[in-house]
Structure 1
Amino acid sequence: MAVLGILLFALGTSVAAQAQTTDVQTAWRLLDYMAVDYGGAVSGGRVKSASEYAEMTEFAASVSTRLAALPSTPARGQLIAGATRLQAVIAAKGAREDVARIAHGLAADLLKAYPVSLAPGKAPDLARGATLFAQNCASCHGMTGDGHGPDAAKLKTLPIAFSDITRARQRSPFALYQVIDQGIDGTAMQSFATLPSADRWALAFYAGRFAFPDALASQGERLWKSDPGLRQMIPDLTTLAGLTPEVLAMSIGTAKADAVIAYLRRHPDVVIQQAPGSLTVARDKLAQSLAAYRGGDRHAAQELALSAYLDGFEPLEPMLTARDATLMGHIESAMGEFRASLQQGRPADEIATRIQVLDGLFDDADAALSPDAASTASTFLGAFTILLREGLEALLIVVAMIAFLRKAERPEVLPYVHGGWIGALAAGGLTWGIATYAIGISGASRELTEGFGSLFAAVVLLSVGIWMHGKAQADQWQRYIREKMSRALSRQSAWFLFGLAFIVVYREVFETILFYAALWTQGNGGTMLAGAGSAVLLLGLIAWAMLRYSRDLPIAKFFAYSAWLMAILTIVLAGKGVSALQEAGIIDIAPLGGGIRVSMLGIFPTLQSMGAQLLMLIAVLCGFLLNRRRAAVAVG
């Protein structure tokens, strides 16, 4: 008897739970239906369709009844009050916007209080959805979803036109799934609950794409792949299934929302495939790295840790730098220290602790990267500081070359320098186009470009700086100009200056493009351009001042100042180059505990980067001392 009692109790509990789920789903479906279709019943305080208005009144009353029948919870009273308010607005023939706002809000609160499954267990099969639609839906809704199928005219209530963009913007795949699952009382729309759940979801996603043409989907694909912030807004199928274009448009604008929805409803699998540039990827890779390390496979652990940075975090760096450069630096350092701990064979518990620290930093990054964190001020300052920081370094080098050629009275070589930096800007634009519309640029590629470009420029500037310092020591500069300048600035040397100008500018343009591409996707394009324009203006003033006052400098002082400028930039670029190659996994990392980090000066707290800067400093000092000794010998 006891066993029988337990079985009866379990059966009763199961039936009650099923009834509750059905009431919640039905109430949610009715609320969503009213939010979308109320505009067809009432307009401007007047009834447009008596039958549809009667339907709205009936549905609102049904929602109240079903909510009252739900198990008692702290939220039920508020839900019932909301349903009563909705009935009152409908009875008063209120505005469509008010009904939609109340109904959508009530539907969201209902699911919070009485959760039900909102998403498919796997990505819907759109090919299967197309087959099912042709078999079960096209006769009424039409093959193109326009509501004009061959049987539509026979129906008392016209079928939904899925191609109606206005209503489609207010529907989520979950809303369509609910209608497919339960049908609509009083209409020819029957329930298809006998279909497997996967088939119902396939139908919902397929029907939800009609209002958004293929051309929009192509635009949406580019937006989805280029914007890590967007991928964070829609991180999984649950979010996508419950998302309407109207809600998404509140964050990114209607045009972008339509395009993104067009793409995702055709390719829902992409929200499951963790896209590069996702902190979820970084977290997963770090967890896998720890598991491999505990299992004794240190090499695999190191590779996974590197992937966590290059594939998970590095693509997010531009946007995070624009939002919170300090946090970006902390995460970058922490990930470097994590990889160093693996290389050093530190205890597994210490490795796990470092992952916990990174998890906390990732939480901060999630908050910083959220759409709510974006503002006009942050976009302007981000655009301004990024271009000023990245552009100043290249500007100093290019302006120094131009000033040098003017001092040397070699204007015929200037076109090579100008050609170099202009070509770099053009190449940067081409890079942006390829990265946005053709192929993605991997994290490793970005770091390798930055690393090798910086080291190449550092070596070249080292030799140029020492050479300029030597000329500052010469007493017979004019004689040198007459006798040696033609050989020193041969056509080969002119092309060398072209290459130097191209490299130093392109590496900065490359970085700036990544930052600006991230800022552009936030939707504050005008503000970003204002910030960039302000930075360009300031850089222009700096260039003018350098060229203006360099003309009045005595030749010896000009070369002395230029030599020290080249020396400083050599040391800065050496640190940046080594750091970038460390991030790409080419050079090992040996952290210096408590070391300072000033990325603008190329100072990073690792033995390798600081060592490279020290070597460059020694080379500079040795070169300068050698110049002084030669000058002293020449005088003697």
Structure 2
Amino acid sequence: MFSFASPSRLAMNPRSRLLAWLLWPVLALCSTTVLAESSADAAKALHLLDYIGADYPPTVRDGKVVDPAEYREQQESSAALAELVKSLPANAEQAGLQQGAQALSSAIDQRQDGASVGRLARQLGARLAVAYEVSQAPIITPDPARGASLYVQNCAICHGDTGAGDGPAGVGLEPAPADLRNAQRMDQLSLYDLYNTLGLGMDGTEMPAFTDQLDERQRWDVAAYIASFTANLQASKGDKTWNIADLARQTPAEIGASEGAAAVEAFRAQRAQPPQVKRGPAQLLEYTSTTLDKSLAAYRAGDHDQAYDLSVAAYLEGFELVESSLDNIDTQARKDTEKSLMAYRQSLQDGLPVAQAEQRLTEAKAKLDQAAKLLGSDGLSWSLSYISGLLILLREGLEAILVLAAILAFLRNTGQQSAVRSVNIGWGLALVAGFATWALAAYVIDVGGAQRELLEGCTALFAAVMVLWLGVWMHDRRHAAAWQDYIKTSLVSGGGRFGFAVLAFFSVYRELFEVILFYETLWLQAGPAGHQAVLAGGATALVLLVGLAWVILRGSAKLPLSLFFSINAALLCALSVVFAGHGVKALQEAGVLGTRPVSFFEFDWLGIHADAYSLGAQAVALLAIVVLYSRSRLAEKRRAAV
């Protein structure tokens, strides 16, 4: 403990002041580390209290033990709780918490009735959470729809599809997987209890900890979905609406005791399907900030892989979702914030000392604070919602439209209507596949930010190769004789048509999935008042993109064939360089590749980023263009000589 002394006691000689300045960072670092560890230990203590509060009541009835095995487990848990509270860092409330733990243990030994022991456990848990500043509420409102797919992937194999504990892997387990439809037991658990159990597992059972498989937000989503097994969702629109903090901390049993049985059904329904308030930028940026704090705590503890994974999740599930909106207000602020987040992530990957990683994190959080001030805390204005809706579709769709319009103009100008149909089928299938992927990610399997960026990066790099191939191909056939020869030998056979269809598919698919996800996030940020603005912005962008395609198709029809081929070839080769830059950047955001900032200008729309990896990929694309064009010119000279 530290205390302030009088001014006369504070006088130091130069050596003492130097020693104090040298020791201060060490003391601060140790203090922060202790706080992180105490928060984790306090969460474990809360986990034990939740278990006791839920599972003790059925073991004792009228002072007699009904389930001896379970009763022994309760005694062991209360003893473990007492030791855990005793080991927590010194705190003004610690002595009282130790007395409370002893009182709880005595009540269990005396076989007091379940209601009183459960009440003691909940009260002690509330005091402990306040004393050690353990947050028991989610930053982002849980989404049970996301939780449903995660439950199927991780929990259904033991607990069954309906939560009845009848999953195939649960057969023969002792104790058997919990029946999540047991309303009597579930009413003793809060949403936070379910979240905590998912993170810490359950000692003495086959219930594992899912910290490595599910991040914080995903565990809240699964907890909300599990709560739906005992809820009548039609009862959510009752006379009272609870805020997310109360829905997370309180139990249906507590609501029944304080507000009557009539309120229990509504509470169950609302915690299973929390009201989706407007998810403003402040909420998403707060998620990024708190997740980064957890990342640094893991790094200090020596868990570098967990620290890196958390830093990736902090970016992809928080900041990236407000990037488009911030870009429309202050592009430089968006770039600076993104660079600072990547710099912190790279410090973890490079294994830098904790002090340097902490310094980079401090810089990143300062940028996040500035971004939050620019965006505001209450969601997006009407004008910003409109501009965001416009630019998201315009920016993501422009490259796809350029590729499609160039291909279609080329095929129509050369009279290949059968190939035009193949291209139309290609981009039509891309629309179907894009929406199907989004539906799959939203309702069947969970596709997180990392998987989304990985998908975008891979398709962008594949599209870069395909577009480069097509550009060089057009350049080789820019002369009428070469084109007529190709028509006779290849295009009519179907191989050429297939290549065009594949390129059309990937050009549209790589953009569509991300466009949908960005609009989904923008829809939540804008709120009901901004939905019309988002739709208006998207409609405006769609008109502009259709107009651009029409201009290209009309304008290209008036160009001589050789000049048209040359322009198209140059455009497609340039797009291959753009796609290469975008693809590498997406893989960096997914955490697959590191970052190596360099002094260079940036132009996001052209995929030019001041990073060695991204610029290196574009340099490879440019080198490929030079080599392939040089080869084409040599072949042309040989033909002319003959």
Does the TM-score normalized on the shorter chain lie above 0.5? yes
Deviations 1:259-308 (A, max 9, x none): xxxxxxxxxxxxxxxxxxx4444334433443454455555543443343
User: What is aligned with 1:168?
Assistant: 240
1:345 Cα deviation after fit: 4.0
User: What is aligned with 1:517?
Assistant: 520
Aligned match for 1:553, one of 532, 555, 559: 559
User: What is aligned with 1:463?
Assistant: 469
Letter aligned with residue 631 of structure 2: L
User: What is aligned with 1:107?
Assistant: none
User: What is aligned with 1:199?
Assistant: 254
Q: Does 1:605 align with 2:610?
A: yes
> For the Cα contact (< 8 Å) 1:567–1:620, is it kept in 2?
yes
1:341 Cα deviation after fit: 2.6
> For the Cα contact (< 8 Å) 2:401–2:549, is it kept in 1?
yes
Q: Residues 487-636 of structure 1 correspond to what in structure 2 (within 5 A)? A: 487-521=490-524, 522=526, 523=528, 524-592=530-598, 594-636=599-641
Q: Residues 221-620 of structure 1 correspond to what in structure 2 (within 5 A)? A: 223=276, 228-229=279-280, 278-294=284-300, 298-317=304-323, 320=326, 326-368=332-374, 370=376, 372-472=378-478, 474=479, 476-477=481-482, 479-484=484-489, 487-521=490-524, 522=526, 523=528, 524-592=530-598, 594-620=599-625
> For the Cα contact (< 8 Å) 2:280–2:380, is it kept in 1?
no
How far apart, CA to CA, are the structure 1 residues paired with 2:244 and 2:619? 60
Partner-residue secondary structure (3-state), 1:597? coil
How far apart, CA to CA, are the structure 1 residues paired with 2:244 and 2:591? 43
Partner-residue secondary structure (3-state), 2:378? helix
Deviations 1:439-481 (A, max 9, x none): 4420111111110000000011111111111222x35245325
1:435 Cα deviation after fit: 3.9
1:483 Cα deviation after fit: 2.9
Deviations 1:330-383 (A, max 9, x none): 322222222223333444332211111111122234345555351111111111
> Judging changes above 3 Å, is the alpha-carbon distance between structure 1 residues 129 and 497 closer, same or farther for their aligned structure 2 residues?
closer
How far apart, CA to CA, are the structure 1 residues paired with 2:629 and 2:244? 71
1:623 Cα deviation after fit: 1.6
Letter aligned with residue 599 of structure 1: D
How far apart, CA to CA, are the structure 2 residues paired with 1:359 and 1:175? 28
Partner-residue secondary structure (3-state), 2:343? helix
How far apart, CA to CA, are the structure 1 residues paired with 2:261 and 2:574? 60
How far apart, CA to CA, are the structure 1 residues paired with 2:364 and 2:516? 27
> For the Cα contact (< 8 Å) 1:384–1:535, is it kept in 2?
yes
User: What is aligned with 1:145?
Assistant: none
How far apart, CA to CA, are the structure 2 residues paired with 1:174 and 1:609? 43
1:218 Cα deviation after fit: 7.4
Q: CA RMSD in A?
A: 3.9
Letter aligned with residue 363 of structure 1: D
> Judging changes above 3 Å, is the alpha-carbon distance between structure 1 residues 348 and 480 closer, same or farther for their aligned structure 2 residues?
same
Q: Residues 38-49 of structure 1 correspond to what in structure 2 (within 5 A)? A: none
Letter aligned with residue 360 of structure 2: R
> Where does the alignment leave 5 or more consecutive residues of structure 1 unmatched?
1-115, 133-162, 181-195, 234-277
Partner-residue secondary structure (3-state), 1:510? helix
> Where does the alignment leave 5 or more consecutive residues of structure 2 unmatched?
1-129, 139-181, 190-234
How far apart, CA to CA, are the structure 2 residues paired with 1:164 and 1:555? 66
1:319 Cα deviation after fit: 5.5
How far apart, CA to CA, are the structure 2 residues paired with 1:174 and 1:464? 56
How far apart, CA to CA, are the structure 1 residues paired with 2:246 and 2:634? 83
Q: Residues 99-138 of structure 1 correspond to what in structure 2 (within 5 A)? A: none
Identity of aligned residues (%): 35
Letter aligned with residue 629 of structure 2: F
User: What is aligned with 1:8?
Assistant: none
How far apart, CA to CA, are the structure 1 residues paired with 2:471 and 2:596? 30
User: What is aligned with 1:79?
Assistant: none
Q: How many residues align?
A: 418
1:617 Cα deviation after fit: 0.8
> For the Cα contact (< 8 Å) 1:172–1:208, is it kept in 2?
no
> For the Cα contact (< 8 Å) 2:602–2:609, is it kept in 1?
yes
> Judging changes above 3 Å, is the alpha-carbon distance between structure 1 residues 130 and 475 closer, same or farther for their aligned structure 2 residues?
closer
Deviations 1:394-428 (A, max 9, x none): 00001111111112211012111111112222222
1:211 Cα deviation after fit: 5.8
How far apart, CA to CA, are the structure 1 residues paired with 2:574 and 2:557? 22
1:526 Cα deviation after fit: 1.6
1:315 Cα deviation after fit: 4.7
1:615 Cα deviation after fit: 1.1
1:126 Cα deviation after fit: 8.5
1:570 Cα deviation after fit: 0.3
> For the Cα contact (< 8 Å) 1:120–1:198, is it kept in 2?
no
How far apart, CA to CA, are the structure 1 residues paired with 2:260 and 2:500? 57
> Judging changes above 3 Å, is the alpha-carbon distance between structure 1 residues 412 and 293 closer, same or farther for their aligned structure 2 residues?
same
> For the Cα contact (< 8 Å) 1:126–1:202, is it kept in 2?
no
Letter aligned with residue 199 of structure 1: E
How far apart, CA to CA, are the structure 2 residues paired with 1:445 and 1:198? 40
Letter aligned with residue 445 of structure 1: Q
How far apart, CA to CA, are the structure 2 residues paired with 1:507 and 1:164? 39
Larger of the two Rg values belongs to structure? 1
How far apart, CA to CA, are the structure 2 residues paired with 1:131 and 1:293? 35
TM-score, length-normalised on structure 2?
Answer: 0.57
Letter aligned with residue 240 of structure 2: A
Deviations 1:73-111 (A, max 9, x none): xxxxxxxxxxxxxxxxxxxxxxxxxxxxxxxxxxxxxxx
How far apart, CA to CA, are the structure 2 residues paired with 1:121 and 1:590? 36
How far apart, CA to CA, are the structure 2 residues paired with 1:207 and 1:173? 20
Letter aligned with residue 536 of structure 1: L
1:324 Cα deviation after fit: 5.5
> For the Cα contact (< 8 Å) 1:311–1:443, is it kept in 2?
yes
516-525 or 600-609: bigger deviation: 516-525
200-209 or 575-584: bigger deviation: 200-209
> Judging changes above 3 Å, is the alpha-carbon distance between structure 1 residues 365 and 130 closer, same or farther for their aligned structure 2 residues?
same
How far apart, CA to CA, are the structure 2 residues paired with 1:336 and 1:164? 42
Q: Residues 144-163 of structure 1 correspond to what in structure 2 (within 5 A)? A: none
